[in-house]
Structure 1
Amino acid sequence: MSKVIKVTYGDNILSDLFESVTNIKRDIGSGWTNNTQAKKEGVDVITSSRGPRNISFDYLIKGTFFSEINANKQKLASYINSEDTLGLVFEDEPNKVWYALPDGEQSYEPESNKGTLTFLVPSGHAVSSFTNVLNLSNSGGVNGTITPSTVDGSVTAVIKNKGTLPAWLRFKIKCSQENGYIGIASPTGAFEMGNIQEADGVVKPESEYFYNSESNIPFSKFTDAVGVANPQNNLLA
């Protein structure tokens, strides 16, 4: 038996209902709409926008007897019955998720048990199902570089986006010393948190008095778990 390419939609595995999946159509890119205005030579482009995208594939429904075929048809109808976009994933591109809706009439031929499923991707593009991590341990590799400055304490990060669309970034910053300010600047904007003038010069102690047993007679014999006083101060219980 030939292997059927795995196709999932939302939480359901559509290909479990099929004997075969063929003729998968995922055209190159999505359609573009350009709004132009004529001028003496050529045109001026007023707006340019990416349109939606259609994805379709042919299937052969699984089953030998009418009852099996009919049950799988009903399951298929329930699997694709969604008014919200769900993730459509094909096994040959496991890292791409197409957030799609069923679109148009979903054809089926009773004589051959074959049909075609068609989906609309409103955004016109897929999204990645995984994230890449850039840190000091892999700096200089395929994801980019991180370069700390020995002059002003700043850090420069050059991130390589290996996709075809802008990517959202998630920063995780760990300060190596007390710091009241964090600033992130890029060619497209800036983010600030805290007070850049924070320089009170006060070092907060790492331990403070929590309880003094000498000033509380009923608990004057309090000690730690092994009966030893705190080495920093013998009054600390």
Structure 2
Amino acid sequence: MGMMFNGERKPYLKVLKGRERPAWAPLKRNLLTVPNRPGARPKSTDVEPRPLAVPIVIKGVDLADLQKIKEDLAAWLVTDEPCPLIFDDEPDRIYYAYVDQSIDFEEIVKLGMGKLNFICPDPYKYSSVSKYQHSIISEGMSLVTPLNKGTVKAKPIFEIQVDNDYTHIDISNGDQINRIGRIVNLEEYAAAREELVLNDKLTSALGWAKTEGSVNIDGRATGDMKSDGYRFIAENFGTMSEGWHGPFYKKTLGQTLTDFRLEAILELLNTGEDKFGKVEVYLLDNNNLPVCSVTIKDVDSAGKRIYANVRLGGGDIGFKDVISTHGEQESTFWNFYGMLRIEKVGERWTGYVAKINKETGQHTARAFELFHDREKQFLRQPTQIGIYIAQYGTRKVPSLRADDVRVYKMNSLTENQIPYVVRAGDVVTFDHQSENILINGESRMDLKAFGGEFFHLERGDNVIMTSPALPTKAMWRERFR
């Protein structure tokens, strides 16, 4: 019999009889004793980490080969975080474990026998299959009725498809409720905090104007840009022996904005460490001067540092980098696909950068910064948007793409105006497993209502209601003692 750990199994390892897998994790009963009273009163119960002792044998060609196998075993089993552990005699259950202590092998010719000690910080076993159920909408109600066949409560994830603009979304099990936003009362009314001014998926260059020469951007405008039907790419970068150069295309916003938000989905996919390039999106005023910009760029001659930049101003008024980072690790933004955002409301500027998982849409490796322009240095008002895809000199370039740009007008609301928190087409995720709330993959815990609770699915039947009545998908994995 064998086992799979962290998605791998090793042909040289066999699990022996004598495994120590307790029927449940250790329990610690906390009791309250009262002087002069017999016995004690139950106070609480702690479920402690679950130990697993697994006797194994490893087989090599000879003693020398056995030493190499032990090195491979350490590389496989020694991890920083708990990983999935599945035994062949229990294939439908997953433990989340990592090795504890060391292991001493009794070596005989080409065999080594010993005992692996695992520890599971999460004391429960999990079903190997996730379950899901879609809501039924009837008579103005959206109900999901998950059946939890596990032996303990499950931690669900609820995914809600939004069909209109709403000031709040609720998910409830009848006793507990989780909520984003606020309900509008009789003395209040709903209002849009933001209005979409430009939403361009960049599937066509129609409406975009080519600009050439020195045009108040970080580089020269040369060459041509096109859409491949999905995004903007550089058709050619023009010719320069040094410095940044490449196509720069502009488009009017149709109005002058005072408070605004720019969002751009950009890509920089680098297959080698000897390639350089950048993608920038600018907001420009009526005189073609930069109001602000967002950039993803590779300027590193060695290593995998990809830099994200969110900048205010430029030109004769100077500039302020709200964000300039390559992430927590050197390779955090390597092969970047993600969002860069800049927002201005009054004197308050905010910058945001995140990678986006293309499969799940979830934002990762996020950076958020705030800046107050109390000196009123950055007061230009945008009327145009520009996209710049640039090469440095004659150096090789990575894959540079602009996928999507959006610009919003930000409105000032009065005290009795309650802002919409979601729009038609949004996907709201109440993740009661990681205790997070996401809108379109972006964490929005700032919208969580005070008193909202991340409730569990009880054993057996559950009834979950969504308000407003919206299509809801419940997902969960059953847990066992």
TM-score of the superposition, structure 2-length normalised?
A: 0.34
Residue 27 of structure 1 pairs with residue 26 of structure 2? no
Residues 134-179 of structure 1, C-alpha deviations (whole Å, 9 max, x = no match): 12xxxxxxxxxx55332xx01233221111232222223346x646
Residue 62 of structure 1 pairs with residue 51 of structure 2? no
Calculate the aligned-residue CA RMSD, in Å: 2.7
Kindly indicate whether structure 1 or structure 2 has the higher relative contact order, using CA contacts under 8 Å at least 6 residues apart. 2
Distance of 2:68 and 2:49 partners within structure 1: 33
**Shift in Å, 1:19:** 4.8
Equivalent residues in 2 for 1:1-237 (5 A)? 4-5=1-2, 7-13=3-9, 15-19=10-14, 21-39=16-34, 40-111=37-108, 113-135=112-134, 146-150=135-139, 153-174=140-161, 178=164, 180=166, 182-193=169-180, 196-197=183-184
- The letter of the residue matching 1:161 is N
**Structure 1 residues 21 and 188: alpha-carbon distance in aligned structure 2, compared to 1, 3 A threshold:** farther
Match of 2:454 in 1: none
**Structure 1 residues 20 and 33: alpha-carbon distance in aligned structure 2, compared to 1, 3 A threshold:** closer
**Structure 1 residues 46 and 196: alpha-carbon distance in aligned structure 2, compared to 1, 3 A threshold:** closer
| 4+ residue segments displaced more than 6 Å | none
Distance of 1:170 and 1:19 partners within structure 2: 37
**Shift in Å, 1:95:** 3.6
Are the aligned partners of 2:15 and 2:54 in contact in 1 as well (CA < 8 Å)? no
**Structure 1 residues 194 and 37: alpha-carbon distance in aligned structure 2, compared to 1, 3 A threshold:** closer
Are the aligned partners of 1:107 and 1:117 in contact in 2 as well (CA < 8 Å)? no
Distance of 1:105 and 1:194 partners within structure 2: 51
**Structure 1 residues 84 and 169: alpha-carbon distance in aligned structure 2, compared to 1, 3 A threshold:** closer
- The letter of the residue matching 1:99 is Y
- The letter of the residue matching 1:73 is K
Q: Counting helix residues as a fraction of each chain, which structure ranks higher?
A: 1
**Shift in Å, 1:49:** 0.4
TM-score of the superposition, structure 1-length normalised?
A: 0.65
Q: Counting strand residues as a fraction of each chain, which structure ranks higher?
A: 2
Distance of 1:37 and 1:194 partners within structure 2: 42
Residues 98-133 of structure 1, C-alpha deviations (whole Å, 9 max, x = no match): 222212331311136211111111222223343111
- The letter of the residue matching 2:169 is I
Residues 27-79 of structure 1, C-alpha deviations (whole Å, 9 max, x = no match): 10011111212242421122310111111222221123223222212211222
Distance of 2:78 and 2:136 partners within structure 1: 50
Q: Where in structure 2 are there 5+ consecutive unaligned residues?
A: 192-481
Match of 1:214 in 2: none
**Structure 1 residues 25 and 179: alpha-carbon distance in aligned structure 2, compared to 1, 3 A threshold:** same
Are the aligned partners of 1:20 and 1:61 in contact in 2 as well (CA < 8 Å)? no
Structure of larger gyration radius:
1
Q: Which SS does the other structure have where 2:44 is aligned?
A: strand
Q: Which SS does the other structure have where 1:107 is aligned?
A: coil
Equivalent pairs: percent with the same residue? 22
Q: Which SS does the other structure have where 1:104 is aligned?
A: coil
- The letter of the residue matching 1:30 is A
**Structure 1 residues 81 and 147: alpha-carbon distance in aligned structure 2, compared to 1, 3 A threshold:** closer
Distance of 2:76 and 2:190 partners within structure 1: 60
